[in-house]
Amino acid sequence: MANSRPNSLLKRPKLLITAVVAACFGFSLGATEWAQADATAPALSINTNTAPQQALVALPDFTPIIDRYGPAVVNISSTTNKVIHQQTNPFPPNSPFYQFFQHFGAPGQRGGPRHQQHEKIQSLGSGFIISPDGYIVTAGHVVRGANHIVVTLTNHHAYPAKLIGLSVRYDTALLKIDAKDLPTVPIGNSDHLKVGQWLLAVGAPFGFYNTVTQGVVSAMNRPLPDDEYIPFIQSDVPINPGNSGGPLFNMKGQVIGINDQIYTNSGGYMGLSFSIPINTVMRVVQDFKDHKPIQFGYLGVEVQDVTPQMAQALHLQEPVGALVASVMPGSPAAKAGIQAGDVIVTYNGKPVYNVGQLPPLVGNTVPGSHANVGILHHGVAETKNVLVTALPKNMDEPSNSTQPSKPTKTLKIPRMDIHVQDLTPDIEKQLDVHHGVVVVGVSEGPAAEAGLMPGMIIQQINQQTVNNVSTLASIVASLPADQPVPMLVRQGKASIYVVITLSKK
């Protein structure tokens, strides 16, 4: 009886069709025939078993991770005092009306009086507890410049936090709160991550506390332009402002990264999230706890990408690796025999496909340790054993371009359409160069197409050293036409390889 209603509903369309067919052929069926037709029809069987079925695809269940380690994720709020200078003159100094409003200022002040206003800026972020006595890890930009930091646990207990250490290069900070017997998270090994593995993020996006999102690993060792020392984990885990500093879990419930950045045009999540590997983070955290300065590995080379045109000019099979544009005198690379023009393709057994992959590998090397650097020297594979030292503190000094003064000899190179001059002692001393020629004029032609400008110094062409204008002229005369040739040039204190295609003789 339970199936009678469904069966009658299913059979009704069939009976209606039979009646229509009978009407078309001019005959009808009696009641007995209808009953016989209905009785002889096969009964339809519907499975009403409501017992749970086994899933065809096993999806991850994140509830055990949240139940066990969710209480160790904290919310971080920080307050920063920002001084705002206000000027009564409504026009900028280059405005023709600027002078008419100067007299409104106080005596001795130009452009009107300046008032200082203090504005409090509050920001929200996330973090996680790594020890029961109150050590907390978060992203550096969450608390950078903060005057007051408050950490709130999932039980709504709030604690003032002390900043133990902060690294701008690694965007990592260590906080301390006065508490005991706190829940903690287990620390995993980010080197074991693989593309496609499931991930879980916990944080406070837009201030919505204890928000859980999930995704997969999209890429590993992803370099970003403004953070050259961090080999980011790229994922599609949805994170937004407020997630910064929160943990990124693997399926074992281990933290394998700090949620740090998103790629966005709108200010919100667009499918690309970047996290700092926990191995990088914990190396910095340990230095903070030991009150040691943060040191970065130093190789002493300037590198650039190998373009397809450059690979052709260097006679390489593939456009991969980091092309060494210059080697600092006395640096670890120089002592190991690495030269300008070499292409770094591996570092400690890890492949280097582009220039962005090398700085994180070198920076994360412990100063004082050895690294095997695989290079291509004139196309031949070699391995150099380098004793990596600490990054010097004065490496960020700005460089200035230099124009030649009192040149000793000038020469035109017709095949390049440039005028060059020998170096002067002043330029050699200021730029710390000991060979090359200065470009003093560039006409329309091969040199201009290669990007050469007056003030640049040509140090190599076709991987041959240029000592003076006569050497350059001799080398150029021997080179074939209409073929790409590598040329090492220097602008200010930075060196770069360019590709030039010489005209016919």
Q: Which domains does the chain have, with CATH numbers?
A: 65-88+113-294 (2.40.10.120), 297-390 (2.30.42.10), 410-501 (2.30.42.10)
Q: Which of 11-25, 94-108, 164-178 has the lowest mean pLDDT?
A: 11-25
Find out whether 290 is annotated in a ligand binding site.
no
Find out whether 451 is annotated in a ligand binding site.
no
pLDDT higher than threshold 90 for residue 249: yes
Residue of 77, 190, 244, 275 with catalytic role: 244
Helix (H) or strand (E) holding 499: strand 494-501
| Residue 52: predicted pLDDT | 63
DSSP E strands: which ranges in 73-226? Answer: 73-87, 114-129, 135-139, 148-152, 158-167, 172-177, 198-203, 211-224
Place of tokens 């005198």: 329
pLDDT higher than threshold 90 for residue 274: yes
| Residue 441: predicted pLDDT | 84
Contact 287, 294 (CB under 8 A): yes
pLDDT higher than threshold 90 for residue 50: no
| Residue 135: predicted pLDDT | 97
Q: In terms of Cα–Cα distance, which of 133, 356, 134 is closest to 226?
A: 356
Contact 203, 73 (CB under 8 A): yes
| Residue 57: predicted pLDDT | 66
287 counts as catalytic: no
Residue of 78, 141, 218, 419 with catalytic role: 141
| Residue 267: predicted pLDDT | 76
Q: Which two tokens stand for residue 204?
A: 């406070």
- For 147, residues 6+ apart whose C-beta sits below 8 A from its C-beta are 79, 80, 81
Find out whether 243 is annotated in a ligand binding site.
yes
Contact 488, 459 (CB under 8 A): yes
Residue of 78, 123, 171, 218 with catalytic role: 171
pLDDT higher than threshold 70 for residue 395: no
244 counts as catalytic: yes
Q: Per-residue pLDDT tens for 82-131?
A: 655 555 555 566 655 555 455 544 444 444 445 555 567 778 899 999 99
How much is the mean pLDDT over the chain?
81
Q: In terms of Cα–Cα distance, which of 442, 465, 459, 455 is closest to 491?
A: 455
Is the whole model's pTM more than 0.85, yes or no? no
Beta bridge partners of 486: 499
Mean pLDDT to the nearest integer, 463-482: 89
